[in-house]
Structure 1
């Protein structure tokens, strides 16, 4: 049997740090909860009403972009690209074809599968914005609810 020696005095040389640890924990939680995260945003102009969203395209787009759920994710016409960098180079070549006027931008349509992460869509819209393509047709399936 193990026996503990009893201390005869109530005074100890080791300070009690329990209260200090509680204060440090409270301050740490307070700082974590009040820390500001950076919010990134991208300006987009959307139709003002639901009726303005559903409009049939009058003519087919010159450039068709696609987002797929599985690899390869990025699509330009019938070609699929494994990396975004390859896709970006191919789209840049398509937009800046020789013989087309710089002020006349090609019409672009964008189709995406339902389960594609939003990050991929935003990345593609950011690329279109960098290429100064202001108007893009986003193709959607009609919701049957």
Structure 2
């Protein structure tokens, strides 16, 4: 009868790489710890006296525009205007007084689309690119 050799003999043709891997990891850690890293810095001028301390930035002014169903139709803040030309002149004056003001538009739900489009056209002519339009949720 033929007997097969035992496969679990102590000798193998594959080299043992454990020691080599240990040395590679040790060298890798050494190189990572000794590598020069750049130090970034930013120059800052801090105030030297109390008068030079930073001040809180002001909130930009908000111009509240309103459209009403009943006459007078146009409104800026609490002031209402009967004619569109008066309203446009007052809005231009507000924008020149408050150069960085943001515009907020509130409208009653039954205001005609024609009035809204007329107002949006005026805002476009005045180079107002961003307008907050306040809307109410429909409770139907």
Please report the TM-score for the alignment, with normalisation by the length of structure 2: 0.55
Q: For 2:132, what is the secondary structure of its paired residue? A: strand
1:103-114 aligned at under 5 Å gives the runs: 104=100, 106-114=101-109
> Is residue 135 of structure 1 aligned with residue 103 of structure 2?
no
Contact 1:63 1:107 in 2 (8 A): yes
Contact 1:73 1:82 in 2 (8 A): yes
Which segments of 5 or more consecutive residues in structure 2 lack a partner in the other structure? 1-58
Q: For 2:127, what is the secondary structure of its paired residue? A: coil
Change (3 A) 1:87 1:135: same
Deviation at 1:143, TM superposition (A): 2.2
The equivalent residue for 1:117 is 112
**For the aligned residues, what is the CA RMSD?**
1.8
Which segments of 5 or more consecutive residues in structure 1 lack a partner in the other structure? 1-58
> Is residue 89 of structure 1 aligned with residue 77 of structure 2?
no
How many pairs does the alignment contain? 82
Higher radius of gyration, 1 or 2: 2
Superposed CA deviations along residues 61-101 of structure 1, whole A, max 9, x for unmatched, are 6100000001000000000000000000000000011xx55
Q: Distance in 2 between matches of 1:89 and 1:122?
A: 18
